[in-house]
Amino acid sequence: MGILTKARGGKNLNTLVNNRKFLSAIVVSVTLICSYICYYAGKPNGYEISIGGTPIAYVEDLATFNNVKNDVEVNLKKRFGSIKINKDIINNEIIIDKSLFTSKNDIKCNLLRQSNVEVTAFAMFSDNKEIALVANKAEGTSVQEYVKRYYESKANIKDIKESKVKNKITYVMKKVNLFKVQEIEDAAVNIINTNYKSKTPVLTVEIKGNVQEKQVAAATTITNWSNDILQGQTKVQKEGKDGSKIVSKQIAMENRIIIEEKIIGESIVVKPENKIILKGLKTPTTEIVAAVMPSSRGMITSNFGERWGKNHNGVDIGAPSGTPIYALKEGVVSYARWEEGYGKVIKIEHEGKLETIYGHCSTIEVKEGQKVKGGQNIGKVGSTGRSTGPHLHFEVRLANIPVEPTQYLRK
């Protein structure tokens, strides 16, 4: 029993010793990690760049700032001669969130703004109005070229013949803060935006060139005369169909506005098919009954049917004033006096509910209730009532309904 107890006691002792070592290792590790965290948490991870006590940038390393500064100085040397920006530039190590680091473009702008360097620049005037501040006249010319290229790109003219600034451009030298001098693109964009907002552009670009447009080649209507169609009547012989054409134009624009265009040529792509209308030449003169107008053989000047948006209930037979009018056929005079529109009018009733009417007479030579024979002289042509000239208005009514008169005329 004693030996067994001793052995067990030795084993428990070894286990305890090992546990203490493990715990010690953990404590040491935790201590080292905490020390590491505390060290690096308190270590600066960036720089604050200041000019004259005013922060202008926060960067991760000084090389970032110096590269931007060198680029700025190279550009300034090109534009103004040798200019160094060294005065009162201070950097301090700081702890900062990386999301707050300053962009290169903002570093450049802040550097120029806070440098307080004075330079000789050129105020650019358009028709005596200042529109930009540039480093030199060459930059002013580049600004104009930029604006010209912008409006050329918007003109939709592939064949540009001429492009120029219409305004009088002048320059005046002045001493200004370096930051106020505009880059070429900035000055040009500002001019374009000002043009857009203003009723009167501060800079006008005139563009001339040629364009081509596809347009409809409209079908025309051709009228042919036909002896097979009565006067006053028409017939569509062929329906028309539009085609297409290419139209060449000379265009003149000011900025984005077309001020003049002139057609200089056309070429047909698809030929239009013209509409053809036949217009009647046929006169019913030979069809007019001799008993109506035997002496003049009067010609029909207006047919039965729609006319001027209204229905024309008879035919008009042109003849000199005083020409005799004869009854179509035997009948009884039912009306022989003035009637609104018809003027002096004669109405004769015939057998079979047929009635003939003779309007615009100059004289009436029959009386109401009088029997007449076919071919009997009943009056004379005139221009009474609603008439524009001497003629006979001749109507035929069947059961008081107007019908085509020419079908009752003898051949």
In the predicted model, what is the mean pLDDT of the chain?
84
Most distant CA atoms of the chain, gap in Å? 175
Share of the chain above pLDDT 90, in %: 52
- Confidence grade of residue 26 (pLDDT, cut at 50, 70, 90): low
Angle at CA 321, nearest 5°, toward 315 and 326? Answer: 60
Q: Residues 130-177: pLDDT tens digits? A: 999 999 999 999 999 999 999 999 998 989 999 999 999 999 999 998
- Confidence grade of residue 269 (pLDDT, cut at 50, 70, 90): very high
Q: Amino acid identity, residue 333?
A: V
- Confidence grade of residue 210 (pLDDT, cut at 50, 70, 90): very high
Q: Residues 77-109: pLDDT tens digits? A: 888 887 777 667 889 999 999 999 999 999 988
Higher pLDDT, 27 or 138: 138
- What CA–CA distance (Å, rounded) separates 148 from 158? 15
Q: How far is CA 314 from CA 146, 197, 228, 370, 392, in A?
A: 76, 68, 21, 24, 10
Higher pLDDT, 287 or 147: 147
Whether 33 has a pLDDT exceeding 60, the answer reads: no
Q: Residues 67-81: pLDDT tens digits? A: 999 998 888 888 888
Whole-prediction pTM:
0.52
Which residues, 6 or more positions from 113, have their beta carbon under 8 angstroms from its beta carbon? 56, 179
Whether 381 has a pLDDT exceeding 80, the answer reads: yes
